Amino acid sequence: MPRMISDRLADMLTHQIQSELTAHMNYYGIAVWFRRNSLDRWARLFMNQSVEEAQHAAKIMAFLDDNDVAYDLPALTGASTQYPDAAACVRSAIESESRVSGEFRAMAKAALEECDATAHHFLQWFIEEQVEEEAKMAKLSDLVASGINLFQAEALLDSFDTD
């Protein structure tokens, strides 16, 4: 079956698998930090984020498979579980989401340049998802920065974890 997506986009999406799995590992590390600090709801929220990132990687892999793109799974590095405080954890998450958002915008731009309607359509879901993810992390940052006791703040976290 001939490929429906361009070689350029296939390469970019293959690289994105690594980005998503790296984000998965980073969120897992953040979850461990919160769990070690007896903040179980915070840990659950970040563990759910971790699972979501792995699902994003799986979604990309399925798309590549459906478009007959051969690829290898990327090598991954470890992720830290050591942060000075909750604010550093959330900053790490914000930086990760911002980086991933930029990668998806670059892929969407490349898809338009390549006249690759198939990949462009596929990428729109991720771009919308990234808007939600960045907003969620910004709200978590505001919550931590408010100075609220993190144990008391746990009661508020269910409104952040809607996935």
pLDDT at 3: 65
**What sign does the CA torsion over 159, 126, 59, 102 have?**
negative
Q: Write the CA distances from 144 to 27, 88, 99, 148, 162, integer angstroms.
A: 17, 10, 21, 7, 19
- Domain 7-146 part of CATH 1.10.260.30: no
For the chain, the domains span 7-146
pLDDT at 106: 97
pLDDT at 94: 97
pLDDT 10s digits, 34-77: 999 999 999 999 999 999 999 999 999 999 999 999 999 999 99
Global confidence as pTM: 0.92
Positions of the chain with pLDDT lower than 50, given as ranges: 163
Helices (H) and strands (E) in the chain, counts: 5, 0
- Cα–Cα distance, 8 to 119 (Å, whole number): 10
pLDDT at 2: 57
